[in-house]
Amino acid sequence: MLALLLAATLAAQVPDSAHLVLVATTDVHGHATAWDYLEHRPFPGGLPRVATVVDSLRRRHPGQVVVLDAGDLLQGSPFASFYARRGVPGLHPIIEAMNLVGYDAATLGNHDFDRGLPALFDALRNAAYPYVSANIRAEPSDTPMFPPYRVVQREGVRVGIAGFTTPGVMVWDRDRLRGKMRVVPIAQAAPGALAGLRRESDFAVVLVHSGLGGGSSYDTTGIGIENAAATLAEASSRPDLVVVGHSHREIRDTVIGGVHFVQPRPYGGQVAVVHVDLARKRGTWQILRVRTELLDTRSVTPSPLLEQRLAGSHDTVQAWMDQPLGLAAAPMRSTAARMQPTPITDFVLETARRRAGAQLASGPAYDLQAGFSDTVRRADVLRLYPFDNTLRAIRISGAQLRSYLEWSARYFRVDPAGRISINDSVPGYDFDLVRGARYQIDLRRPVGDRIQRLSVGGRPVAPGDSFTLALNSHRQTGAGGYAMIRGAPVVYDKGEAIPELLEAEVARGGADPAARPPSEWGIVPEVARVAVRNLFGVAPPPLARSAADTVTFRLVATADLHEELPVVAGGIERAMDSLGAECGCPGVRLDAGGSLQGSPVGEATAGRAAVKLLDAMGYAAAIPGEREFDWPLDTLRRRTGETRFPWIGSNLTDTATGRRPAWLASYRMIDTAGIRIAVLGYVAPETKAVQPAERTAGLRFGVGELALHQALTEVRPARPGLTVLLADAGATCDSIACEGEVVRLAEQLGGSGVDLIIAGRSQRPFQTRVAGIAIVAPGGPGAVAVADLVKTPAGGREIRVRVEPVAAGPARPGSELAGVLRSLNQLGDSMERRVVARLKRPLDRAGPQFALGALLAEARRNAGRADLGLVRNASIRSGLPAGAVTWALLRTVEPAGAALVEVTLTGSQLRDLAERVVGDSAAPSAHLAGAEVRYDPRAPRGRRTRSVELAGERKLKPRESYTLVTDDATAAGAGGLLPGGLAAVRLGVTEVEATAAYLRRLPQPVEPGAAVAFQSTRP
């Protein structure tokens, strides 16, 4: 009776329906932060954004959420590389991030083994969640290395989670793992594991780090197929849900044999969320409904907790990435690396070939956006070579070399009509180039017979010849389908990481395009070469176009020259001169904004110097960029009146009259040698939001096509042969597409008569075509944009654009420019020597809090008359000696010369800021003026701040607003101190100017106090 009663009570307690929420990521590849260390900007993914999604799901569905990951966690980002190189004695920051998200289970990806087993287990030791794998076995014991699955309970439902990893691991990491572990083919391990999983769970999930299906990238004999996820639907005990990883694709809910498959995109850029409804019938759970969605994390705010906990690592990694390694003798770019030999790929291949002492070297161009210019930083090298591969050399025969090249040349596809495209089954990183051999890729011939005229050292290659070939460890295993070299004897392997060799080569001065002769391969015939060039959007070299084409007009444009104008003016003028001479056609020079403001001399002369330079260089028109409004409007108006050419602002109107302000033109019409060119200008509308109100007072900044309508209507009746828009609007492009403000503008302008847009404010050069409009951006002072108006033999007319790199150099002797530059240099030298103030004693950078830092922070606070001033220690680069302080000395303290901005923070944001400053295990990472922070360095991170008191003994009020002045980089999130996305108002002064102004105001000689903001409670 009692037993019966008890059973009845129990039954009543178990509800008869349940709702589960499974959340999954895969291929996070080291993105423990939401930051792009190459580009210094927020990364549209990463675990902090995943954490926010998970937190909100847990709030909405308490006790129902299960969080899973399908592998490739520990390798594949600069963040991961840093810790892989340095080793982590304690808690690995990537594992820390996973723990903070609160994962329930994960499996391993192939890349998790890249650093060998000891490194892997060191990292996993601190994981707060278990790893499951049903096909990884320890050798020689042949025992399971991980539990095959685990079961968690949610709402009384048993959720079983099993894991599988692609056996490709045994190919790619063979040397590290041989004799220590084995990955069993998935099809072989699945039946047993799935039967157990099914038995113990009401809802069965498999995490499989293996693509859904399709071919393998290696010879599968004795290994097992690479992408086997779909075969799980054929097993006799089928799982309910499979989370797929490895292939970096996106799988929206796909049902095969009753099994749901889902794969979120990599890097934490997407999260799969699976809602499962179940009902309990006669003691067993039945699945009523499985609903899957993929959530984009791009616009999700990163979790402040993760950001705060990882702030120290974040700073360390960014500083490491920014470390200058050497100088590039001239710009080196990868844009054309897959169509012709380029100095930057030759730099990589030759470094490897020489190091290994091999005759030949092979490798791909990983990233066509990679490049060097001026200072080469570690970030530039890691963009060029993003993998931690090591250098090896093998001995191969002539026959193997030929078959290697044939395999690589599959990269190009030619359809029956002769049209050339990229074979999308061959990733760009598998298109290997070989240095040391001369060969042609003949695209008239079928795949497998494309390599022609193959020779080494001037002698045709015979099948029985023997060569040594330097390559990376990944390729040496035959990865990428290069089966012909599997088993080739290894003649060099010292475990040297290739990125580190390249870094050393840069430091030795190797970033010089003239340092090594070009490799000797090419695509034939000429028509194929041109077609390939078009595929990559690379404009032909000036003389290679068809002889019958005539360039009738050539436009050359610059943008964003900023503070480099005096430095690059000579080189740019030479480039413009020679581009004009080479064409022998009429032309025009234009500037798309950002060229007045920025240079120290320019600012000292309030732009008078800059307008003289632009005039001397022969510009025909320019637009004011957003930065030009750093000056009071009066100054800008006066400067624009001093040039020989007009300043154009087609989208600007006077708020009072609705008309164009008198100092700006609506457009400029240029008639030259029978061609009429209309030039319009688009000034960035966000100028209004970014600049202080008084700088744009009385001006309306029109947005989009509508704002240009009036000017276009005025231009049209004159029937210009070419209509150009100078736009202070940028874009960013990857190898596939561009996105950004100028792209949206062009989409609106299709059919409006605009033929060409010169885009300013782009970080990198690009060229593209949107809605029939050619867009080209020089991407800063390192290049000019060239647009040719070409008459084709058929009588057609087309616009061809390209970006031409510019080498720095002096102005032509005797030119007007040379004269202007000479007087500027004299002015600059005397300014740099000018004494700003005198110091009573030296100011050193000793310890985490020092008087110099306090002074710089106070100077910032004063510059904006703000409540607070903030300076990161990382941006203070040297101390000051006692005695005279000159501009030149101040510039060594803050060499970045960053613009100062003001942001508004709530009291609680300010408290968060203080906590982030002291959150690092070491010591405060910044100086603050206008507040005193007491902190306990031994308290756990996130709880170190004891009190924050504002100047005048005011208590901090969480909801009150406070103004803070700092540099633009810090405001944008550099150093991880401030949340991204704050509205920053530019003050129109640089950090050095603010410091100079402040020092000048103090009683001389200056005797700075020792007051610092951050006071430890445990002295």
Residues that bind Zn ion in the complex, under the rule CB under 5 A: 27, 72, 109-110, 246
- Cβ closest to Zn ion, residue 64 vs residue 210: 210
- Cβ closest to Zn ion, residue 244 vs residue 488: 244
- Cβ closest to Zn ion, residue 74 vs residue 743: 74
Q: Least distance from C-beta 80 to Zn ion, angstroms?
A: 12
Report the distance separating Cα 6 and Cα 10, nearest Å.
6
Nearest to 339 by CA among 369, 365, 362: 365
For residue 320, the SS3 value is helix
Q: Parallel, antiparallel, or unpaired for β 105-106 and 65-69?
A: parallel
- Cβ closest to Zn ion, residue 245 vs residue 805: 245
Q: Least distance from C-beta 75 to Zn ion, angstroms?
A: 9
Q: Least distance from C-beta 13 to Zn ion, angstroms?
A: 44
- Cβ closest to Zn ion, residue 27 vs residue 628: 27
Q: Least distance from C-beta 640 to Zn ion, angstroms?
A: 53
Report the distance separating Cα 811 and Cα 815, nearest Å.
7
Q: Least distance from C-beta 352 to Zn ion, angstroms?
A: 24
Q: Least distance from C-beta 161 to Zn ion, angstroms?
A: 19
- Cβ closest to Zn ion, residue 212 vs residue 484: 212
Q: Least distance from C-beta 1011 to Zn ion, angstroms?
A: 51
- Cβ closest to Zn ion, residue 478 vs residue 730: 478
At which residue do the structure tokens 């071919």 appear? 215
Report the distance separating Cα 135 and Cα 163, nearest Å.
8
- Cβ closest to Zn ion, residue 112 vs residue 346: 112
- Cβ closest to Zn ion, residue 95 vs residue 531: 95
Q: Least distance from C-beta 171 to Zn ion, angstroms?
A: 12
Q: DSSP readout, 332-396?
A: EE-TTTTTS--HHHHHHHHHHHHHHT-SEEEE----TT-EE-SEEEHHHHHHHS-S--EEEEEEE
- Cβ closest to Zn ion, residue 215 vs residue 772: 215
Q: Least distance from C-beta 146 to Zn ion, angstroms?
A: 17
Residues 6+ apart with CB under 8 A from 521: 341, 433, 434, 437, 438, 439, 440, 441
Q: Least distance from C-beta 739 to Zn ion, angstroms?
A: 24
Q: Least distance from C-beta 116 to Zn ion, angstroms?
A: 17
**Residue 963, burial from CB neighbour count under 10 angstroms (0-12, 13-18, 19+):** middle
How much is the CA Rg of the chain, to the nearest whole Å? 31
DSSP E strands in 378-527: the ranges are 390-397, 412-414, 420-422, 433-435, 437-442, 451-456, 459-460, 466-472, 490-497, 520-524
Please, are residues 682 and 652 in contact by the beta-carbon 8 Å criterion? no
- Cβ closest to Zn ion, residue 166 vs residue 316: 166
For residue 25, the SS3 value is strand
Q: Least distance from C-beta 433 to Zn ion, angstroms?
A: 24
- Cβ closest to Zn ion, residue 201 vs residue 227: 227
- Number of other CB atoms surrounding residue 944 within 10 Å: 23
At which residue do the structure tokens 């035959």 appear? 478
Give the Å distances, CA to CA, from 686 to 40, 289, 364, 667.
21, 48, 41, 21
Q: The tokens of 98 are what?
A: 């996973």
**φ and ψ of 949, to 5 deg:** -125, 135
Q: Least distance from C-beta 623 to Zn ion, angstroms?
A: 44
Nearest to 924 by CA among 827, 1009, 853: 853
Please, are residues 382 and 85 in contact by the beta-carbon 8 Å criterion? no
Residues 6+ apart with CB under 8 A from 162: 132, 134, 148, 149, 193, 194, 197, 204, 205, 206, 207, 239
- Cβ closest to Zn ion, residue 210 vs residue 373: 210
Residues 6+ apart with CB under 8 A from 695: 629, 630, 631, 632, 633, 988
